[in-house]
Amino acid sequence: MRYARLAHSAGADGLLAMPPYLVLAAQEGLLEHYQAVAAATPLPVIVYQRDNAVFTPRTVVELARTEGIIGLKDGLGDLDLMQRIISAVRTGALADFLYFDGVPTAEQPQQAYRAIGVPLY
């Protein structure tokens, strides 16, 4: 939260919120963490899904409902999970939520990501 406020005061346009370092947290803990980050700053927040922060579709729906959280960047490359997340968020009438391809070799699965509704990198 401190770094989110510092980023805002330094003139950042938004935040890419990485997972907590060296921590494997339950879904509830991850949700509370990112909600606290979003509440600490007026900056738009994009949550980064990576190997130690893998979200269920239900958790992403709650993230999408959180004021200030505008998107999810996927660094896993699990297209099945991403498709289920996107479907759950759309079912929750949260169509403005953004999705980003963040896998290390993003140019390779880019077409597959676009096909399920992930147009951004």
Question: What is the reported pLDDT for 48?
Answer: 96
Question: What is the reported pLDDT for 93?
Answer: 67
* Residue from 60, 108, 53, 106 nearest 83 by CA: 60
Letter for the amino acid at 49? Q
Question: What is the reported pLDDT for 94?
Answer: 75
pTM (2 d.p.): 0.91
State the number of CA atoms in the 13 A half-sphere of 28 facing the CB. 0
Evaluate if residue 106 carries a pLDDT over 80.
Answer: no
Residue numbers annotated as active site:
48, 73
Q: In whole angstroms, what is the distance from residue 102 CA to residue 18 CA?
A: 12
Question: What is the reported pLDDT for 102?
Answer: 86
DSSP 31: H
Are the CB atoms for 82 and 112 separated by under 8 Å?
A: no
- What would the mean pLDDT of 48-63 be, rounded to a whole number? 95
Q: What is the pLDDT of residues 77-98, one digit of tens each?
A: 899 999 999 999 998 867 789 9
Question: What is the reported pLDDT for 32?
Answer: 96
Helical H runs in 1-121? 2-9, 27-39, 57-64, 79-91, 110-116
Question: What is the reported pLDDT for 110?
Answer: 82
Question: What is the reported pLDDT for 36?
Answer: 97
